[in-house]
Structure 1
Amino acid sequence: MWKWETNVEPKGIVVIVHDMMEYHGNYAYTIMELRKRGFHIFMGDLPGHGETSRANKGHIEHFEQYNEKLFEWLLIASRYEVPCFIIGQGLGGLIVLNALEKTEMKVEGIMLINPLLEFNHELSSQKKLLSTSLGSLSKEGRFDLGINSDMLTSDKTMQQSLNSNKEMYREVTYHWYREVHDTMRETIEKLDQIQDLPVAVYYSKHNQVINSKEVSVLKSGLNSTFLNYIGYEKKAHHLLIDEYKDYVIQDIDYFMHRVLNEIGFNY
């Protein structure tokens, strides 16, 4: 895990949980902007991501490995006496929700960006898998998720960067897919077990990676009395590396300041 401390009086900590197929380096701009706004940033690479062996990329033994990593980061963040927030992008959003269903966290709010609750059925990989018995597939076997850089961002420069970055990957194991698939279903069924805390949901209405319509279950499923739900007329799945990123960061900053005002935190 890495931490980037703000150079001004701290208002809080933001723990960022990244998406599948990527690593922490994609968040450099977001980290810079939130630090300028007075937030320490804590972030690391999830298991099977970042600087891991090629054999381990796109693979986990069990989903709980992701939750354990998040709990580890939050434990370190708790040593700072300032409010704590979590950003979860894509898979990161699923991890945050699933972890919250299992334990109550001492956080002031969570921000979910295109949380992975269901894959888009139009993905080529999904069409193939829907017609296959997952139980009959090899645990170690791999397949291409069918997610391209232009589905992640409309920024041409960033697309080129993603395509050439060795930390990015396209293939996952069938076991990884089963773990994530089962966790998506389980998480949706238990949303009412999550503590009442401020939640912001940001999603792309024309997302080609996730089924954006499934995100709407959060409105009815969560017990949050402070829910901010924003849909953008975009197709980019990874809004924090999109051409539209400044607007999203502005919305995130606005949400956190609203929460800080609600809890009476002086900054």
Structure 2
Amino acid sequence: MWCMEAERPVASIVIIHGACEHHGRYKWLSEMWRSSGFNVVMGDLPGQGTSTRERGHIRSFQEYIDEVDKWVARAKAFELPVFMLGHSMGGLIAIEWFKQQQSGIAGLILSSPCLGLQLKPNKFLDWISKGLNVLAPSMRFESGITPDKATRNKEVIEMDINDSLYITKVSVRWYQEMLKALKSAMEPTDAFLNIPLFVMQAGTDWLVDKKMVVKWFNELASHNKTYREWEGLYHEIFNEPEREDVFKAARAFVEQYMT
């Protein structure tokens, strides 16, 4: 877990990163929140970054939810309004976390949330993975996620290519747990009924199926939800050349619910 405190904090925000990456890729975004008066709490999810040697592998999706629970507890300790921002798989984790907790968060931002996959294993691998999930759950295969599919920002792409913590392979168990979570996320729930929600979706997303994001949003029971699609932007909207405008929209959203 990592905490970046603002000089004169007015709120705290928990950031949940996506698949195959780590919290170190969020330095720019974290500093933008900190300089805006937010304490930032995040960390490396299980199986990612420096959290473990079993990189790209989890035993259960619940491991992610339990880890985020710790980050939220740390953020609440500041006794200020707590917001949550989940990117990609981090958005999926946030959704599943809310379904279990349903309290203590002033507002939720989902950035290109993973509610459907654009990149899928071939049919044979998809079929055989069901058996391998029992016989060899830690067996790895290529994720198909590459930096150039995530962003148009050449500086970020170059850093990712040379990032030793950037994961290129994931386990069979990870894949099967992801599929279960995707199915669970689409089930009807009233967990978001009274939570201010802002879905920020990349218009040109090579990693997440945005049609499923729109479907989830439209079917979600909520008194306060907003959807905005960023035309032409790739999956990592907070890394895109237009990221300052993206951040301004996110900040404007949370500022409505600071009291």
CA distance in 1, matches of 2:233, 2:206: 6
CA distance in 1, matches of 2:60, 2:213: 24
Is the contact between residue 233 and residue 240 of structure 2 (CA under 8 Å) also seen in structure 1? no
CA distance in 1, matches of 2:188, 2:72: 22
Aligned AA (2:43):
G
Aligned to 1:12: 11
Shift of 1:35: 1.1
Pick from 100, 122, 126 the counterpart of residue 121 of structure 2: 126
Is 1:135 equivalent to 2:134 in the alignment?
A: no
Aligned AA (2:10):
K
Aligned AA (2:3):
K
Q: Which structure 1 segments of 5+ residues have no match?
A: none
CA distance in 2, matches of 1:52, 1:100: 23
Aligned to 1:155: 153
Deviates further, 158-167 or 130-139: 130-139
Q: Which structure 2 segments of 5+ residues have no match?
A: none
CA distance in 1, matches of 2:236, 2:108: 17
> What is the SS of the residue equivalent to 1:189?
coil
Runs of 4+ in 1 over 2 A off after TM superposition: 125-134, 190-195, 217-224
List aligned pairs for 1:137-216, cutoff 5 A: 137=132, 138-216=136-214
Aligned to 1:100: 98
Shift of 1:147: 1.2
> What is the SS of the residue equivalent to 1:85?
strand
CA distance in 2, matches of 1:46, 1:93: 13
CA distance in 1, matches of 2:34, 2:126: 46
CA distance in 2, matches of 1:222, 1:3: 32
Residues 254/142 of structure 1: CA separation in 2 closer, same or farther (3 Å cut): same
Aligned to 2:72: 74
Aligned AA (2:45):
L
Aligned to 2:63: 65
Is the contact between residue 15 and residue 85 of structure 2 (CA under 8 Å) also seen in structure 1? yes
Is the contact between residue 98 and residue 192 of structure 2 (CA under 8 Å) also seen in structure 1? yes
Residues 129/181 of structure 1: CA separation in 2 closer, same or farther (3 Å cut): farther
Aligned to 1:36: 35
CA distance in 1, matches of 2:234, 2:67: 27
Deviates further, 238-247 or 189-198: 189-198
Residues 129/40 of structure 1: CA separation in 2 closer, same or farther (3 Å cut): farther
> What is the SS of the residue equivalent to 2:30?
helix
Is the contact between residue 152 and residue 242 of structure 1 (CA under 8 Å) also seen in structure 2? no
Pick from 222, 225, 228 the counterpart of residue 224 of structure 1: 222
Aligned AA (1:187):
A
Shift of 1:243: 1.3
Is the contact between residue 102 and residue 191 of structure 2 (CA under 8 Å) also seen in structure 1? no
Residues paired across the two proteins, number:
256
CA distance in 2, matches of 1:238, 1:179: 23
Is the contact between residue 114 and residue 203 of structure 1 (CA under 8 Å) also seen in structure 2? yes
Is the contact between residue 208 and residue 235 of structure 1 (CA under 8 Å) also seen in structure 2? no
Is 1:250 equivalent to 2:219 in the alignment?
A: no
Aligned AA (2:169):
E
CA distance in 1, matches of 2:193, 2:72: 16
Once the two structures are aligned, what percentage of the paired residues are identical? 27
Aligned to 2:20: 21
Residues 83/129 of structure 1: CA separation in 2 closer, same or farther (3 Å cut): farther
What is the aligned-residue RMSD (CA, Å)? 1.6
